[in-house]
Amino acid sequence: MTMFELSEDYQDLSDAVREFADEVVAPVSAKHDAEHSFPYEVVSGMAEMGLFGLPFPEEYGGMGGDYFALCLAIEQLGRVDQSVAITLEAAVSLGAMPIYRFGSPEQKQQWLPPLASGKALAGFGLTEPEAGSDASGTRTTAVLDGGDWVINGNKEFITNSGTDITRLVTVTAVTGQQERPDGSVKKEISTILVPTDTPGFTAEKAYNKVGWNASDTHPLTLKDVRVPEANLLGQRGRGYANFVQILDEGRIAVGALATGAAQGCVDAALRYAKERQAFGSNIGANQAISFKIARMQARAHTARLAYYDAASRMLAGKPFKTEASIAKLVGGEAAMDNARDATQIFGGYGFINEFLVARHYRDSKILEVGEGTTEVQLMLIARDLGL
């Protein structure tokens, strides 16, 4: 792949997922959104295509692809249904990827095959009532007791944490204290694998959200949850550093999702502008409408280039943290701006939930919040500039 042109394999994958999105996902999207129901039949189809195993080696049941392949799939799904796209993004980049990146050989052998097959889902339990953008506010604790971790705490906004096929949540927890070079003390944060059938683990009632209604999101309660000491994921005390790396990668994938949403708004607005008649001609003949759609296309194109660039840097082993933040920032704003403009073009129909642009209008706002707010991205970019 050059930075701007897809190889034949990447293009074939993108085309296949696009076809699946149009023929399988789109027809049931409004129904699942209205019912706030998890699209198990869609997830099953994605699993059959191997999408959950895209970036993982074949030895773990994966497809032997890479992270950019995953992003291409997420973009195409995001055009027609952000809930489905975020289900895949969170399942792979937040659910399975920490195990692949930091897990022991035994942990990888146990968990990656079912997760890569799409027959099981995993969540990433980071956010808490007092800890979102400021992860140092983590209050969940894990204490060693007779060879087990005993975990107590609460998590919020955890994707894929309460479905019928959810099997695991990786939680961040305070496991002690670490002394800084200046003598001050900070929390020692580690990550621990918690199977969802462990006594004391509860996925509370699902949230009633503004958007992403077909995505599974719950608060979690962990009360005296006891798991083996071997369930520590990665090195003790490296939990904070490890999940920062996971979030850096995840921002590229969310940038891809946002790009898909932005493009989906362009496609829908373009079709409507060519069909809708007003004052004797289609509304696309009006410069006010045509210029609005042109600007929408420019945003989607720019967002795509941003995540392509971040992904190519990541695959080349180059630093990509700032570029990932730019992809997330540009993509999220493109999705939100395009959703607003598309809704305006649709007029009254844009305010009806069964129309795709209405769902994008509700769904896109979280792209400026989840996996690092716009303000966090600006902070990281500014920091890289030496400010």
DSSP string, 15-71: HHHHHHIIIIIHHHHHHHHHHT---HHHHHHHHHHTGGGTTS-GGGT--S--HHHHH
What is the Cα–Cα distance from 7 to 204, expressed in whole angstroms?
Answer: 44
Residue 276, judged by CB atoms within 10 A of its CB (0-12, 13-18, 19+), counts as middle
Q: Indicate the helix (H) or strand (E) that contains 272.
A: helix 239-275
**Assigned token pair, 324:** 């990932």
CA 341 to mean position of chain CA atoms: 24
Q: Partners of 148 in the beta sheet?
A: 145, 228
Q: Within 13 A of 249's CA, how many CA atoms are on the CB side?
A: 23
What is the Cα–Cα distance from 310 to 322, expressed in whole angstroms?
Answer: 8
For the annotated catalytic residues, the residue numbers are: 371
CA 372 to mean position of chain CA atoms: 11
